[in-house]
Every structure is written in C-alpha cells, then in structure tokens.
Amino acid sequence: MIGNNTDRPSHLGWVFYLSLILLGGFIAIATLLPVTFSQSVEFALDFTTTHFGWLYLFVTTGFLFFCISIALSSFNMTDYAEIRLPDKPFSPRLTVRDTLLWHKLERQFIEEGLMMPGKA
C-alpha cells in the first residue's frame, strides 16, 4: 500500500528542517526586499560565471565523458538481477476534473508566453 513503507524512519531529519529554514529565509528576503534581492542574485551570478565559468566547462565535459564510459563499459548483468519490480504497475487515476484543470493551466502558460502551443 502506498504511504505504508516500513523502511523509512517515521521522523523528519535535521536536513529537512535546515532546508526549510533556508528556503523560508530566501523567500522572506525576496518578498520583503525584491530589488535588493534581485541585485544580490545578479551579482552572485555574474561573479560565478566570470570566475568559475571554466569550472562549469570542465565539470560538464567530465560528466559527458563519464556517461560515455558507462555506456561503453561492459558490466555484469547478474548484479542487477536481484532488483524486484512491482507486480502491478502504478497508473494514476485521473478524473475529468483533473484533465480540465490541466488544460486550463496549460492555456494560462500559453497566454503568458511561458509555453509554446503543442509543446507540453
């Protein structure tokens, strides 16, 4: 049954609460001081791209080579033979209301220019 996983701990860890506090702080600053926040974020982006643009290039190139090496490597398939898949695949139960709400949201995105028609 979904939501009845006994492998997970029943409490939320400190990482969750720390992330929640940091996210709340960013949202509060962005809401209360939007101009200052925008200038600070723009400065941080400019600094990062100016001083660490080469690092981005090396990391993405390294990741590309890593993916290619994984794709071309031979690995033992018996290592993955113990992975168990569920007996019945999960399929969401969508109602007509869900479909109509999805189309309404899609139309709003298209009207605001956030999405091109037919690209969903």
Summarised one tens digit per residue, pLDDT across range 3-21 is: 455 555 567 788 999 999 9
Q: How far apart are CA 77 and CA 70, in angstroms?
A: 14
Residue 83 Ramachandran class (φ > 0 left, ψ -120 to 50 alpha, else beta)? beta
Is 0.75 topped by the overall pTM?
no
Residues 33-63: tens digit of each pLDDT: 999 999 999 999 899 888 888 888 899 899 9
Tell me, rounded to whole angstroms, the distance of Cα 5 from its chain centroid. Answer: 23
The rounded radius of gyration (Å) of the Cα atoms in the chain is: 23
